[in-house]
Amino acid sequence: MYRFSHVGIVVENMEESVDFYTRVLDCQIHKQHRDENIQFTLLRSDNQEIELLKFPRDEKERKEGVISHIAFAVENIEREISRLHERGVKLVGDQPREVLGGMKIFFFSGPNGESIEFVQYHQ
């Protein structure tokens, strides 16, 4: 069984959303990132994370719903991608992406088109 990592929520206003989750729900800011394609804030609540996502250029993500994806932590992302391939799962790409200086991520689809992410944290 995979350990649940986080849920990604697409937001319209990052500052308002961060304020809500920190002030109202006592979440703590863990990491933040912003570039021309995406802005995100990782919030911690106890041992769980919420990833707030803002897409400044492309609002197509918004049309697909507020919940962007669910994520599960894995020890060896390449091995897990091979397992998905062997089981005929619809993959988004063929290689994991490295983000935040060493963390690896990979997306694939569930049977209803839901977006699922595997995350391999820094080792």
Please, which pLDDT band fits residue 78 given cuts at 50, 70 and 90? very high
- Residue 9, classed as helix, strand or coil, is strand
Given a cut of 90, whether residue 28 has pLDDT beyond it is: yes
The pTM of the full predicted model, rounded to 2 decimals, is 0.69
pLDDT in tens, 86-114: 988 999 988 999 988 889 999 998 876 78
The whole-number average pLDDT for the span 117-121 is 92
Q: Which residues of 42-73 are buried (b: 16+ CB within 10 A; e: fewer)?
A: bbeeeeebbbbbbbeeeeebeeeeeebbebee
Domains of the chain: 1-69 (3.10.180.10), 74-123 (3.10.180.10)
- Residue 96, classed as helix, strand or coil, is strand
Could you give the percent of the chain with pLDDT greater than 90?
34
- Residue 7, classed as helix, strand or coil, is strand
